[in-house]
Amino acid sequence: MENNTHKIETPQSQEQMLAEILDNSRKSKNYMKWQLIITIGLVVIPLLAGVIIIPIVISSLTTAYSGILQ
């Protein structure tokens, strides 16, 4: 029978663990910030552009085809 022994790492000091937790939380915060920026870029900006561009396109189409529609 084989004896499966795992190498047990020495426990880190509490300060090292807190520093690691702080580093991971900063990385997570940065990730969430960029996720919000990309979401705004991909959702909100096209919606605002559509609100501005659609009326211009509709007015140009109605003036171009006004003779046909009457």
pLDDT of 67 over the 80 cut: no
Which pLDDT score, from 0 to 100, does residue 12 have?
81
Distances (CA, A) of 37 to 20, 26, 62, 64: 26, 17, 37, 39
Which pLDDT score, from 0 to 100, does residue 11 have?
67
pLDDT in tens, 28-43: 999 999 999 999 999 9
Alpha carbon distance 30, 63 (integer Å): 49
pLDDT of 1 over the 60 cut: no
pLDDT in tens, 9-27: 666 899 999 999 999 999 9
Whole-structure pTM value: 0.57
